[in-house]
Amino acid sequence: MWRIDEAFRGRRSLFLSIWQPSIELEEKDDEFRLQVAVPGVDPKDIDIEVTPEDILVKADVYHEHKEKKGELYACEFASGNLFRSIHLPKKIDADKVKAEFKNGMLRLKAPIAAEARAKKITVEAA
């Protein structure tokens, strides 16, 4: 018999059809460092788009049961879309952004654009 509590299934589908993963954004050494928690997502399924002001991370996430034998009492895995848009406080050099994926964590390094960095001005006596 194959059954899952219908009320449980409904609750899960309401908020998991679009999954907004947790992030951490920090600025250090003239670059932004962004971490995106995407456990269970295959890195080849992740799509990253970068502009000087924004980073967009998205993916399609699928979960299916290959074999329908026995009784399934609960399943909290879901299919849907992962989507996260991060507006940056300073412009970045979009051509130099680097991304890596390890242990369910996507990490991006985005150098801050030269024109967006603070400049020191020396005061000259008149």
Q: What is residue 119's predicted lDDT score, i.e. its pLDDT?
A: 77
Domain range for 64 is 6-116
Averages of pLDDT over each 10 residues, the chain, 126 residues: 47 62 96 95 95 96 80 83 95 97 97 83 86
Can you give the CATH number for the domain in which 26 is found? 2.60.40.790
Answer whether residue 88 is part of any domain: yes
> What 3-state class would DSSP assign to 10?
helix
3-state DSSP of 62-88: CCCCCCCCCCCCCCCCCCEEEEEEEEC
Answer whether residue 1 is part of any domain: no
Answer whether residue 124 is part of any domain: no
Q: What is residue 14's predicted lDDT score, i.e. its pLDDT?
A: 47
- What CA–CA distance (Å, rounded) separates 123 from 126? 9
Q: What is residue 36's predicted lDDT score, i.e. its pLDDT?
A: 97
- What CA–CA distance (Å, rounded) separates 4 from 10? 10
- What CA–CA distance (Å, rounded) separates 31 from 96? 10
Look up the pTM and report it.
0.74
The total number of structural domains that make up the chain: 1
